[in-house]
């Protein structure tokens, strides 16, 4: 099933390209591209849901360069969304600088995927909020997509949430 691994790698690489596209929309188009940004985000999320099961179908056990890049690329996608929101005037630049600086400091201090996820969640929520305000059809489409994705991937969602909680607990030393 080497083809399955190749498809998974292509899906992961596609998310990187979609992140770049979102950033370009912020630089070149601005607010008017929010509907397109939401559509691109859903394409990226769909590729994220599909690449894991595809990679697990590979029985060769071979590793590729893309194997460890899934979460960093997901984080870059959220960063691209954040920069799009900033470049398009949905977020004030001074707030973006403070938010990103705080995120960098905490990530440097804790080096934790869970800390990164904690900074990614508000960005995703803000993106959804802006969609509901500016292009409601994409807000509703995103929520519908999330409901369908959760329906088909509930065990994976539970695993991610439990891993997040455990990772956050590990950051806090027990005792005194």
Block residue for tokens 């059809």: 137
Q: What is the pLDDT of residues 11-52, one digit of tens each?
A: 999 999 999 999 999 999 999 999 999 999 999 999 999 998
Residues 6+ apart with CB under 8 A from 150: 157
Q: Hey, which CATH number is domain 2-171, 1.10.3470, 1.20.120, 3.40.50, 3.10.50? A: 1.20.120
Sorted by where each begins, the domain ranges of the chain are 2-171
In whole angstroms, what is the distance from residue 17 CA to residue 44 CA? Answer: 9
Q: Are 112 and 171 in contact (CB under 8 A)?
A: yes
**pTM of the predicted structure, to 2 decimals:** 0.93
Left (φ > 0), alpha (ψ -120 to 50) or beta: where does 171 sit? alpha
Q: What is the pLDDT of residues 78-111, one digit of tens each?
A: 999 999 999 999 999 999 999 999 999 999 999 9
Closest CA to 33 of 41, 94, 45: 41
Residue 153, classed as helix, strand or coil, is: helix
CA atoms within 13 A on the CB side of 59: 1
Q: What is the pLDDT of residues 2-14, one digit of tens each?
A: 788 899 999 999 9
Confidence class for position 175, pLDDT limits 50, 70, 90 = low
């Amino acid at each position: 099933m080497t083809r399955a691994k190749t498809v998974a790698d292509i899906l992961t690489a596609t998310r990187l390209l979609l992140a770049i596209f979102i950033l370009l929309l912020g630089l070149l188009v601005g607010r008017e591209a929010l509907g397109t940004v939401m559509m691109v985000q859903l394409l990226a999320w769909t590729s994220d849901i599909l690449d894991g099961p595809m990679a697990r179908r590979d029985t060769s056990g071979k590793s590729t360069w893309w194997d460890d890049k899934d979460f960093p690329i997901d984080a870059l996608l959220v960063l691209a969304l954040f920069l799009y929101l900033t470049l398009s005037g949905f977020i004030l630049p001074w707030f973006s600088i403070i938010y990103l600086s705080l995120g960098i400091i905490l990530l440097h201090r804790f080096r934790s995927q869970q800390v990164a996820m904690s900074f990614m969640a508000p960005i995703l929520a803000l993106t959804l909020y802006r969609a509901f305000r500016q292009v409601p059809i994409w807000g509703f489409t995103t929520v519908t997509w999330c409901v369908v994705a959760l329906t088909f991937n509930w065990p994976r969602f539970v695993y991610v949430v439990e891993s997040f909680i455990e990772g956050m607990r590990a950051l806090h030393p027990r005792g005194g």
